[in-house]
Structure 1
């Protein structure tokens, strides 16, 4: 690493900086820049300043708020975009033509991070895989900085990161669209249609994900899911070492695979058994795959003994198949992180019995046809709410194995009504699962707020 954080901040001295979007990653960024004595304009589409914005203004930031917040970008030397903002918006393209440098908090972090970076992306499983990798490294004695699309922004803390540490970052397609650096160790869990409300096509979405390894070197490592058609197509595109993981077969070369119920690893040192499947506390085939990806990522860094001890006690990530409560013999699970059909399908497979499913939410313009048959197979009562309720109903009713009443389908206006309906219908032994298959933005700020609301509603249910 040739550029330190102090070096980078010095390049901004005397320049005009705009930060677009005042969310989780950019509010700490604005504070960091202001503390360094840099002139910052903080921009957001919200019309009125909240308490955080007012605090930034008191610290010295100029606020630019309202619907036209992107229409006054002339004169800025550097523009930081929020991760969910397309980099090719006309206002941004015009600013770049005028000489502005367009960047983001994560792009700068990659430039100044002094330690190795492990990056994880994918459509499903990336949060759990990211968490497992970070926790395994911690259990092995490393200092780990977890961030990106999970946890907190890391740039404000970069001066506390040592060269012997590890940064473990979950990266979204939006963050990756304009990245010109890649992690030292990269994991792509799987790919399926997602975020097509922002991406213009599936091809653009895949290209953004692909960018996570495009800039790797011969000294870097790429870990791919051999069972997923799209990630399998990346084989041969790697710049450095390649490791494949597969639950269904035994790939050639460096690989992690399942043999006789045991996760095994093959590398240049030979082949060995690492982790018995039945010792993994997390349920479901998808979590076996998450562990395979993590084992490949920490190979050479974490011992097999540490991996086995961790897997036997790790109960999972909040909002991911999280047991909220058992009431009158009914188990209520929060799977709010399931914001795509494939995530919900994976969650349904965790339960041997047919479940009461609460689904629906913001429309990301992705198809639900693959979800319909899975719901018909695994669900006894489908409770729909949110903008996508009609689309999910149509997908289920079009499924080959669907017949009227199997499952019963009900629609409600709010999550509170949906939880009450599930409670009224559930009998001892049933599972009630919130697994929306959609983003949360129609009713909530994010999946965490949705999951926490669900948990409050469930805890408030009477016997």
Structure 2
């Protein structure tokens, strides 16, 4: 089926219907332009809580066949529209969504209807941006046509005209983008599932379902790759009747087909045939076992599409770590500062501490979403970290969990109201020739717009404080 035939099929969804775009952020805007270009006769309803939507986007004034609903009544569109294309940022926790679930879709679902056979979908609570970017980098370095889209910042509808028949579409998929899909990518990768986004879902089980849907709708011709080391993920997969060819990957031996590590060697296993691929001491700029696990997932995808192992390893050697992920800020006053603002869950902070050497000061906390911090507290009590700086309500709760351990704790605890206080404390209390790590294990939304904003403010404050203190 060519692109025109696919478009015609998709157009059947919109024919003689009022189609609502619920949420007019970056993805909502790209959905609007897609429909206006390919299906201009469609009656559109733009629905957004922002009252100043038209002032912000003047082109809406001249938009034909378009109705606009803004402000607190924006969810009235649930009743008036025949089809609702929901943006990822809008949570379905509101009970008003319950009886309209059947007519809610999203851009991810519509895009997969057009290009699922070319999509490599990657999701996971942590690691999806790094793994997606790494895979895209490997493909490009080997002159394979690849486009990177999704949660990393580029809505898929924005690149439709750049897709050729042999293009691989590496799609980083958040749980929000996977919610309400009815079709899965041809190659799906599930990196891990941890307790996260509890503010967005009615339950942790609902969050798990959204993640699993990346493979749930696959058929026998598709491929599913998942992390065998993630116990929750393994137990969940065992209970679901996934129809595709399943591959496992792990830092230790696996049960089924896939890729794994044993005695610092990488092995590929397929139908009881095991092939040694190489050592784990290859050159890489993304440190830590959690990134080695991400690399295994990317290697397995490349194996499926027929890319030679040595070419994959060569490409990995010059891949640079993404910003806010174990990012080295610099050494000032003989203290090494690291920005791991992406860390919004305990597991990410533990992974960071197991990667960065000589962490003397750890910055924790932020917006409290009710995550369980017991395992993190136990780990921290038994760690080599001496100083803890806590931010926000989550910071207070982590502190309380640490104190619950009931043993004499030879640690130093500090509380800060803002990033300047954090950095000022860090310079004063961190030992020379040691590290200070921002790895909060909490969301950023109390003091910052997002984790990127938090990380940037941390870096700016460190640099500015150092300048000030050296003058």
Q: TM-score, normalised by structure 2?
A: 0.89
2:336: which partner in 1? 331
2:283: which partner in 1? 279
2:437: which partner in 1? 433
The alpha carbon displacement at 1:415 in A equals 2.1
The alpha carbon displacement at 1:14 in A equals 5.7
1:382: which partner in 2? 388
Does structure 1 conserve the Cα–Cα contact (< 8 Å) formed by 2:135 and 2:298? yes
The alpha carbon displacement at 1:214 in A equals 0.9
1:259: which partner in 2? 262
1:241: which partner in 2? 245
Say which is worse superposed, 187-196 or 45-54, in terms of deviation.
45-54
Q: In the aligned structure 2, how far is the partner of 1:41 from the partner of 1:407?
A: 57
Does structure 2 conserve the Cα–Cα contact (< 8 Å) formed by 1:322 and 1:333? yes
The alpha carbon displacement at 1:70 in A equals 0.8
Does structure 2 conserve the Cα–Cα contact (< 8 Å) formed by 1:261 and 1:278? no
Say if 1:72 and 1:224 are closer, same or farther in 2 by CA, change over 3 A: closer
Q: In the aligned structure 2, how far is the partner of 1:238 from the partner of 1:114?
A: 17
Residue correspondence of structure 1 range 132-281 to structure 2 within 5 A: 132-233=134-235, 234-235=237-238, 237-248=241-252, 250-267=253-270, 270-277=274-281, 279-281=283-285
Q: In the aligned structure 2, how far is the partner of 1:378 from the partner of 1:40?
A: 58
1:445: which partner in 2? 449
The alpha carbon displacement at 1:270 in A equals 4.4
2:320: which partner in 1? 315
The alpha carbon displacement at 1:279 in A equals 2.8
Q: TM-score, normalised by structure 1?
A: 0.90
1:26: which partner in 2? 28
Q: In the aligned structure 2, how far is the partner of 1:285 from the partner of 1:208?
A: 26
The alpha carbon displacement at 1:111 in A equals 0.7
Structure 1 counterpart SS, 2:90: coil
Q: In the aligned structure 2, how far is the partner of 1:33 from the partner of 1:145?
A: 21
Say if 1:450 and 1:39 are closer, same or farther in 2 by CA, change over 3 A: farther
Q: In the aligned structure 2, how far is the partner of 1:407 from the partner of 1:18?
A: 54
Does structure 2 conserve the Cα–Cα contact (< 8 Å) formed by 1:224 and 1:245? yes
2:460: which partner in 1? 456
The alpha carbon displacement at 1:320 in A equals 0.5
The alignment status of 1:358 with 2:360, answered yes or no, reads no
Does structure 2 conserve the Cα–Cα contact (< 8 Å) formed by 1:114 and 1:162? no
The alignment status of 1:343 with 2:348, answered yes or no, reads yes
Structure 2 counterpart SS, 1:113: helix
Say if 1:186 and 1:326 are closer, same or farther in 2 by CA, change over 3 A: same
Say if 1:304 and 1:292 are closer, same or farther in 2 by CA, change over 3 A: same
Structure 2 counterpart SS, 1:71: helix
Aligned pair count? 457
The alpha carbon displacement at 1:427 in A equals 4.0
Unpaired segments of 5 or more residues in structure 2?
none
Structure 1 counterpart SS, 2:79: coil
Say if 1:351 and 1:278 are closer, same or farther in 2 by CA, change over 3 A: farther
Out of 80, 84, 89, which is 1:79 matched to? 84
2:123: which partner in 1? 121
The alpha carbon displacement at 1:186 in A equals 1.3
The alpha carbon displacement at 1:343 in A equals 0.8
Q: In the aligned structure 2, how far is the partner of 1:198 from the partner of 1:273?
A: 41
RMSD: 2.5
The alpha carbon displacement at 1:299 in A equals 0.9
Say if 1:77 and 1:156 are closer, same or farther in 2 by CA, change over 3 A: farther
The alpha carbon displacement at 1:217 in A equals 0.7
The superposition leaves residues 49-97 of structure 1 with CA deviations (integer Å, 9 ceiling, x where unpaired) of 4864344445565442222211344332221112133446443344568
Say which is worse superposed, 126-135 or 269-278, in terms of deviation.
269-278
Q: In the aligned structure 1, how far is the partner of 2:173 from the partner of 2:91?
A: 15
Q: In the aligned structure 1, how far is the partner of 2:284 from the partner of 2:265?
A: 10
Structure 2 counterpart SS, 1:223: strand
Structure 2 counterpart SS, 1:454: helix
Unpaired segments of 5 or more residues in structure 1?
none
Does structure 1 conserve the Cα–Cα contact (< 8 Å) formed by 2:302 and 2:312? no
The alpha carbon displacement at 1:332 in A equals 1.5
Q: In the aligned structure 1, how far is the partner of 2:56 from the partner of 2:307?
A: 40
Say if 1:421 and 1:315 are closer, same or farther in 2 by CA, change over 3 A: same
